[in-house]
Amino acid sequence: MNMSDRRNYELHRLVATKVQRDPSLLRIALRNIARFENRSGSNPYYLRWKEIIASGPESTVEALLDTGELGQTLRSASPFAGILTDEERLTIIRDVAAAHRG
Q: What does the pLDDT read at residue 100?
A: 87
Is 90 exceeded by the pLDDT of residue 37? yes
Is 90 exceeded by the pLDDT of residue 102? no
The count of domains in the chain is 1
Report the alpha-carbon distance of residue 66 to residue 34 in Å, rounded: 24
The DSSP call for residue 83 is: S
Domain region containing 35: 3-101
Upper half-sphere CA count for residue 18 (Cβ side, 13 Å): 19
User: What's the average model confidence in pLDDT over 90-95?
Assistant: 97
Report the alpha-carbon distance of residue 86 to residue 36 in Å, rounded: 21
Confidence of residue 1 (pLDDT cuts 50, 70, 90): confident
State the average pLDDT for the chain: 96
What is the pTM assigned to this prediction? 0.93
Q: What does the pLDDT read at residue 42?
A: 84
Report the alpha-carbon distance of residue 55 to residue 93 in Å, rounded: 30
Residues comprising the chain, all counted = 102
63 within 8 A of 52, measured Cβ to Cβ: yes
